[in-house]
C-alpha cells in the first residue's frame, strides 16, 4: 500500500494542491472576481496616477468652477475648478495607502495580542479581553473619531486612529481561532518534544489561523476606506488640498442641488472601492473555508 | 543544563523513572477531583512497562504529568516524579522543556491529528532534532530523513517534503515515532499508540517500537486498554482503577493468576477466538456498572460497587497496596 501510493504521488505538496483548489473555487465566484478586478483596477490607477491623471489635482481654475461633465473634463470640476477625475485618481493613492496602513496597524498589534491571549489563556487572556471589551464598547467609527480628536487631523493620525479602532476585531478573531488550535494534538505533540512557546505560536498556531485573518484583512481594508472617507467628510481626516475622497464628498455636498456631480463621483469612487474589498473578502471566505458557506 | 547533562543525570541509578505517591488534582467548577490518587511506580532501564485500565482511570493523566504537559492550574500535583535524581515536578519550565523530546518523549493516540497539517513532516522532525542537538538546518533535515528511513517509511527523502495529509494513519504514527525517537530519549511514553490503527498496522507499529527500543536502549511505558497488546510486549504490568494502582505484576504472573477482582474481570472480558465450542468456555464476562465519577467516589475501596467478591469491609475502608513478594502488588482486602 505504502509502496504504491508513494510511487503514484507526484512531488506535489499539500499546500500547492490545497491552494490550487482554493484558487479554483475563488475563480468560480463571479462576485469575488468582480471585487478582485475592482481592487486591481484601483491599485493600477493608484500606481500610475501621475501618468494617467488629466492634469494637476490641486491646480485651481476659478473660471471653470463647478462645470458639469463634458468631453474636455470627463467628470467635471469642483468649486475651485479642479478636475474631479484628476482628484479621484490621485485620491485613490491616499485611500489605498490608508487602507494598507490601517490594516497593518490592526494586524501588527491585533494578531500577536490575539495569539497570546488565546494560547496562554488565564489571567493574560482576562486582562487582554477586558481591554478589548472596553474598546469594543464604542462603535468602531466613534472610537476612531475620539482618537482623531485627541491626536489631531492629518493622514498619519487618520491611519493611527482607524488602525487602533480595528485592533480589537483582530484580537477577538485570532483569539477565538487560537483557542481552538491550542487544543489540537499537534500543539501538545510539539510541546512534548520541547518546542518553545514562541515557536509553537509562530509555527504551529499562526499558520493554522491564517485563513480568517486573510478574509478579515480584505474586509478590513474596505472598512478602513469607508472610515477614512467618513473622517474626511467631517473634515477630521486627511486635510485639503490633498484630494481625499471623503473630503471631496464633504465639500461637494454644499452644491448637491445645482452641481450634483461634485459629490456624486467621489461617492461612487468610495462605493466601488468598498464594494470591491467586501466582495473579495466574502469570496475569499467562501473559497478558503468552504464550511462557512451557507 | 545541557542536553548531555540531562542524559548523564540518570545514568547512575537502576530505575529510570520513579513515581512516588503521585497525586494529580483538577480544580473544576463542580469541585476538586483527584484523577491520580497516590500512584507509586518504577520503570527500570530498558524495560517495557504496561499501564492498563479503563477509560478515565488516570493512565493518560499519569503520562502527561511526567512531562508536565497538564496546564496548571487547573491541575495540581503532589508527590514526586523522579527521573534519575531529578524531581520532574520541581524543575523549572525551561529545564523540563529540555527534557521533553530529549530524555523523555511521548507518542499520542491520534496519529491523524498529532502532526501539524500545515508543516511538512520532515520539518516537524527536523525541528525536534535541532531543538535539542543544536545542529544546522541541513543536518537536522538529514537526521529527519534518516529517522523516517529507520521507521521504514518508503522513499523517506520525498516523504519528508510532504504534508501529513498525504500519509495514512499508520505512516503518520511511524512519523510520530520517528519524531519521538529522533533525539534517542531514555524513556518513551506511548499513550495508546495503536488504538486508532488497523489491527495489521498495530502489529507493525508495535514491532517497530520494540525494535527501536532495543536499538536505542529506551524504556517504554505503554499505556493501553488492550490486554492482548500488553501480553505480547510488556514485561511488567500495572493495572489502574479510578486513579489508583490496584495491581502490579510480571506479565506472565498477571495473566496466569490475576489477584485483584478488577484484573480478573478485565481478563475475563477478553473474547478468545475459537475457544467457545472446543472447551465450552464460559460466556464472555463483563464487569457490571461503570467507573465511578471522580466527583462522587464510593467510600472504601473504589471498586467495591462493581466487585464480584465484595466483603463487608470493602465499603468501609480503602485497602492499601500490599506487597505479595516476587514483584507482585495488589490493593485488595482479599489478600490481607
Q: Does B316 map to a domain? A: no
Q: What is the pTM of this model?
A: 0.81
A-B CB pairs within 8 A amount to 96
Assigned domain for B309 exists = no
Instruction: Give residue A9's pLDDT.
Output: 40
Residue pair B105/B189 in contact (Cβ under 8 Å)? The answer is yes
Residue where a domain terminates, one of B184, B214, B229: B184
Q: Answer yes or no: are the C-beta atoms of A208 and B142 closer than 8 Å.
A: no
Shared domain check, B144 and B189: no
Say if residue B84 is in the same domain as residue B194. Answer: yes
Residues B59 and B142 in one domain: no
Closest residue in chain A to residue B130, using alpha carbons only: A195
Give which of A83, A57, A240, A59 is closest to A251, Cα–Cα.
Answer: A240
pLDDT over 90 at B102, yes or no: no
Q: What is the pLDDT of residues B13-60, one digit of tens each?
A: 478 899 999 999 988 888 888 888 888 988 988 889 999 988 878 888
Structural domain ending residue among the three candidates B165, B184, B203 = B184
Does the distance separating the beta carbons of A2 and B171 come in below 8 Å?
yes
- If asked whether residues B82 and B219 sit together in one domain, one would say yes
- Which of B27, B108, B119 to probe by mutation at the A interface, max A CB count within 10 Å? B119
Would you say residue B138 lies in a domain? Answer: yes
User: Predicted ipTM?
Assistant: 0.80
Q: Are both B129 and B246 inside the same structural domain?
A: no
Beta carbons of B98 and A13 less than 8 Å apart? no
Quickly state the pLDDT bin for B206 (edges 50, 70, 90).
confident
Residue B297 has pLDDT above 80, yes or no: yes
Ordered strands of the B328-330 beta sheet: B104-107, B187-191, B219-224, B48-52, B236-241, B244-250, B328-330, B322-325
Q: B308 at the A interface (CB within 8 A)?
A: no
Which domains are seen in chain A, by residue range?
Answer: 20-47+81-292 (1.10.3720.10)
Q: What is the chain B residue with the closest CA to A181?
A: B116
Residue B294 neighbours by CB under 8 Å, 6+ apart: B33, B34, B35, B56, B242, B243
Average pLDDT, chain B: 84
For residue A1, list chain B residues with Cβ-Cβ distance below 8 A. Answer: 168
Does B251 share its domain with B174?
A: no
- Cβ of residue A190 closer than 8 Å to a chain B Cβ: yes
Based on its alpha-carbon atoms, the radius of gyration of chain B, rounded to whole angstroms, reads: 21
Say if residue B158 is in the same domain as residue B226. Answer: no
- Residue B72: the pLDDT is 76
Does B235 sit behind a cis peptide bond, omega within 30 degrees of 0 on the bond before it? no
Q: Which residues in chain A touch residue B171, judged by CB atoms under 8 angstroms apart?
A: 2
For A188, the closest of B69, B73, B153 (CB atoms) is B69
Are both B159 and B169 inside the same structural domain? yes
Whether residue B98 is found in the same domain as residue B209: yes
For chain A, residues with pLDDT lower than 70 are 1-17, 290-294
Say if B123 falls within a structural domain: yes
Check B108 against A14: CB less than 8 A apart. no
Domain boundary among B259, B283, B307: B283
Least confident of A42-56, B187-201, B272-286: B272-286
List B residues 150-179 in contact with A (Cβ-Cβ < 8 A). Answer: 153-155, 158-159, 161-166, 168, 170-171, 176, 179
Q: Examine the domain organization and report whether B99 and B189 are in the same domain.
A: yes
Q: B34 lies in a domain?
A: yes
Would you tell me which residues 10-69 of chain B have a C-beta closer than 8 angstroms to some C-beta of chain A? 67, 69
Residue A290: predicted pLDDT? 58
Q: Does a structural domain hold residue B155? A: yes
- Residue B11: its pLDDT value, please? 47
Note down the domain range covering B172.
114-184
Q: How far is B224 from chain A (nearest CA, A)?
A: 18
Domain identity same for B10 and B83: yes
Per-residue pLDDT tens for B72-92? 778 889 989 998 888 888 888
Average pLDDT over residues B260-278: 75
CA distance B257 to chain A (A): 37
Compute the residue count for chain A.
Answer: 294
pLDDT of residue A174: 96
> What CATH code is carried by the domain that includes residue B249?
3.40.50.300
B101 touches chain A (CB under 8 A): yes
Number of separate domains in chain B = 2
Q: Tell me: do B191 and B175 sit in the same domain.
A: no
| pLDDT-derived band at B207, boundaries 50, 70, 90 | confident
Amino acid at each position: 500500500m505504502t509502496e504504491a501510493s508513494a510511487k503514484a504521488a507526484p512531488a506535489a505538496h499539500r499546500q500547492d494542491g490545497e491552494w490550487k483548489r482554493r484558487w479554483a473555487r475563488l475563480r468560480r465566484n463571479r462576485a469575488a472576481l468582480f471585487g478582485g478586478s475592482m481592487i486591481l483596477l484601483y491599485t493600477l490607477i493608484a500606481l500610475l496616477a501621475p501618468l494617467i491623471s488629466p492634469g494637476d489635482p490641486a491646480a485651481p481654475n476659478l473660471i471653470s468652477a463647478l462645470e458639469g461633465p463634458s468631453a474636455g473634463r470627463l467628470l467635471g470640476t469642483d468649486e475651485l475648478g479642479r478636475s474631479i477625475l484628476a482628484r479621484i485618481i490621485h485620491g485613490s493613492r491616499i485611500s489605498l495607502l490608508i487602507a494598507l496602513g490601517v490594516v497593518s496597524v490592526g494586524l501588527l498589534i491585533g494578531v500577536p495580542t490575539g495569539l497570546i491571549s488565546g494560547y496562554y489563556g488565564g489571567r493574560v487572556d482576562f486582562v487582554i479581553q477586558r481591554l478589548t471589551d472596553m474598546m469594543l464598547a464604542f462603535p468602531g467609527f466613534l472610537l476612531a473619531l475620539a482618537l482623531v480628536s485627541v491626536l489631531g487631523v492629518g493622514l498619519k493620525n487618520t491611519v493611527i486612529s482607524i488602525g487602533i479602532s480595528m485592533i480589537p476585531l483582530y484580537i477577538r478573531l485570532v483569539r477565538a481561532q487560537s483557542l481552538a488550535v491550542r487544543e489540537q494534538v499537534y500543539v501538545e505533540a510539539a510541546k512534548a518534544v520541547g518546542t518553545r512557546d514562541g515557536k509553537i505560536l509562530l509555527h504551529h498556531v499562526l499558520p493554522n489561523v491564517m485563513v480568517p485573518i486573510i478574509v478579515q484583512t480584505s474586509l478590513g481594508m474596505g472598512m478602513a476606506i469607508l472610515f477614512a472617507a467618513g473622517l474626511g467628510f467631517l473634515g477630521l481626516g486627511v486635510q485639503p488640498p490633498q484630494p481625499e475622497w471623503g473630503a471631496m464628498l464633504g465639500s461637494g455636498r454644499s452644491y448637491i442641488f445645482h452641481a450634483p456631480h461634485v459629490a456624486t463621483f467621489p461617492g461612487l469612487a468610495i462605493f466601488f472601492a468598498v464594494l470591491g474589498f467586501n466582495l473579495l473578502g466574502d469570496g475569499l471566505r467562501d473559497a478558503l473555508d468552504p464550511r462557512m458557506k451557507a | 543544563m545541557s542536553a548531555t547533562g540531562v542524559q548523564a543525570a540518570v545514568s547512575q541509578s537502576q530505575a529510570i523513572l520513579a513515581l512516588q505517591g503521585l497525586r494529580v488534582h483538577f480544580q473544576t467548577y463542580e469541585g476538586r477531583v483527584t484523577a491520580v490518587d497516590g500512584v507509586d511506580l518504577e520503570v527500570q532501564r530498558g524495560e517495557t512497562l504496561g499501564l492498563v485500565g479503563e477509560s478515565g482511570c488516570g493512565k493518560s493523566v499519569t503520562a502527561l504529568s511526567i512531562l508536565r504537559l497538564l496546564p496548571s492550574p487547573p491541575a495540581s500535583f503532589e508527590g514526586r516524579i523522579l527521573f534519575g535524581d531529578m524531581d520532574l515536578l520541581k524543575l523549572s519550565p525551561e529545564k523540563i522543556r529540555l527534557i521533553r523530546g530529549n530524555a523523555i518523549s511521548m507518542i499520542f493516540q491520534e496519529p491523524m491529528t498529532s502532526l501539524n497539517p500545515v508543516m511538512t513532516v520532515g520539518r516537524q522532525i527536523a525541528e525536534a532534532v535541532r531543538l535539542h542537538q543544536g545542529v544546522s538546518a541541513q543536518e537536522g533535515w538529514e537526521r529527519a530523513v534518516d529517522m523516517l528511513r529507520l521507521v521504514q517509511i518508503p522513499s523517506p527523502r520525498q516523504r519528508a517534503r510532504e504534508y501529513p495529509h498525504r500519509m495514512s494513519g499508520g505512516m503518520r504514527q511511524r512519523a510520530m515515532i520517528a519524531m519521538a525517537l529522533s533525539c534517542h530519549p531514555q524513556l518513551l511514553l506511548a499513550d495508546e499508540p495503536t488504538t486508532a490503527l488497523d489491527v495489521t498496522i498495530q502489529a507493525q507499529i508495535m514491532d517497530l517500537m520494540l525494535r527501536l527500543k532495543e536499538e536505542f536502549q529506551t524504556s517504554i511505558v505503554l499505556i493501553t486498554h488492550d490486554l492482548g497488546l500488553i501480553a505480547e510486549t510488556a514485561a511488567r504490568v500495572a493495572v489502574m482503577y479510578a486513579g489508583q494502582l490496584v495491581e502490579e505484576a510480571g506479565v506472565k504472573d498477571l495473566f496466569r493468576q490475576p489477584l485483584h477482582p478488577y484484573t480478573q474481570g478485565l481478563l475475563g472480558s477478553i473474547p478468545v477466538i475459537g475457544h467457545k465450542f472446543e472447551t465450552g468456555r464460559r460466556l464472555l464476562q463483563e464487569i457490571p456498572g461503570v467507573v465511578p465519577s471522580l466527583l462522587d467516589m464510593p467510600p472504601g475501596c473504589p471498586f467495591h460497587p462493581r466487585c464480584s467478591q465484595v466483603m463487608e469491609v470493602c465499603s468501609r475502608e480503602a485497602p492499601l497496596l500490599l506487597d505479595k513478594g516476587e514483584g507482585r502488588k495488589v490493593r485488595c482486602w482479599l489478600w490481607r
